[in-house]
Amino acid sequence: MAGDPAGVCAGGRWHPTVALAKYALIVAGNHGYRPNARLAVEAGTQRALRLGATQFTARTTEREIAFAKDHMRLTTTLAAGSLAVVATLFASPLQAAPILGTAGAGLQNASAPAENSGRYWDGNSWDSDSVFDGGGANPCNAGSLANGIPCNLNGAASGVAAHAGLTGTTFNLQYGAPGYEAWGMNNGAADLNYGFDALGGGSYDFTMLGEFTDDWDVNEIGWYDLGNTQNRHTIFGASAAVGSTAQVFIPGNFGFYYQNTRNGKTFFTQSSFNTQGTKQQFAAFQYDGYTMLGVEDIFSNTLTQQWHFGTADYDYNDVMFGFRAASVPEPSTLILLGMGVAGIVAQRRRRTV
């Protein structure tokens, strides 16, 4: 009808359930959210409007919904409330934090680890139970873990990992799945200086994913203002165990730092600020809105397949953590919720009259 571009009125009557469903889809489309956000809102609509074996979606005609509501056992309040909750849960963007890096850097294929350091993160891990792998047998580096490949730990690594909160000798990284890409140069080299675009500021959910290092009890992870390493903020202190979580508000563009609280050694995603060496000690991976980072906690110019003093394996799994944008209501979501409440009040007034 005229003046009702979203089609939320049926037969001249206001239907808050239809309004919430359709406006939820409009908000999702206008903000560029991915298709699964739309599907999630529709799924919530189906649950809220289910009656017996009959299911409805946001595309069901208003006349059909109006007819079904005459026989509905669920109250309008419950249906509208369910939709409002679903809309709130899926109101945050699913886009991973954009990476701000060196010209020519980008997300590169991180599949099929070869453990030959051909890609900067693809080292032959000291933690694997097969020492001279080289051909991708039982990889344990950050790229293989991010892509969901299980790591069979050797005795020394499993003992250390247990102190950090991991159990068993086979480790699967939380959130690991095929499809992660690694940030770096297209020739396999690391981007020595990068950070993240906060898109004006926002909240992020962080998880400590893994620790495979003798320094498990002195590892501190935090964020800093991009370009200003003096303004640092701790995310996970040295005592944080694997599985620890934190929600952090970051107001502007940011990078990450690792600090050994025993000796003060500090590495940054902008490696020119490192207190030891200028190699990139962070590896970043992204897939489906999630960002993982792995830290190589030893700086060395000598790579070895087994531990030797003063050498490193550059497998970037010594500390692994991940984050995504927190699921918090946006202004458009609050407007949507207010519309639903207003519709409920209007309908109750009609019934009273």
Neighbouring residues of 263: CB distance < 8 A, sequence distance ≥ 6: none
Distance CA 284, CA 294 (A): 7
Residue boundaries of the structural domains of the chain: 9-91+330-352, 99-325
From the list 140, 107, 138, 108, the residue with the least C-alpha distance to 123 is 140
Reported pTM: 0.68
Neighbouring residues of 336: CB distance < 8 A, sequence distance ≥ 6: 20, 23, 24, 27, 84, 87
Instruction: With beta carbons less than 8 A apart as the criterion, state whether 120 and 190 touch.
Output: yes
Q: How far from each other are the two terminal CA atoms of the chain, in whole angstroms? A: 25
Q: Note down pLDDT in tens along the chain; length 353 residues.
A: 444 444 434 344 444 444 444 444 444 444 444 444 444 444 444 444 443 334 444 444 455 445 444 444 433 443 444 444 444 444 444 589 999 999 999 999 999 998 888 999 998 888 777 655 444 567 889 999 999 998 888 777 777 777 767 777 788 899 999 999 999 999 999 999 999 999 999 999 999 998 888 777 899 999 999 999 999 999 999 989 899 999 999 999 999 999 999 999 999 999 999 999 889 999 999 999 999 999 999 887 666 666 566 767 899 999 999 999 997 555 555 555 566 555 555 555 555 55
Distance CA 254, CA 40 (A): 31
Tokens representing 173 are 């990284």
**Residue 2 exposed, middle or buried by CB count within 10 Å (0-12, 13-18, 19+):** exposed
Instruction: With beta carbons less than 8 A apart as the criterion, state whether 323 and 205 touch.
Output: yes
From the list 233, 134, 272, 128, the residue with the least C-alpha distance to 281 is 272
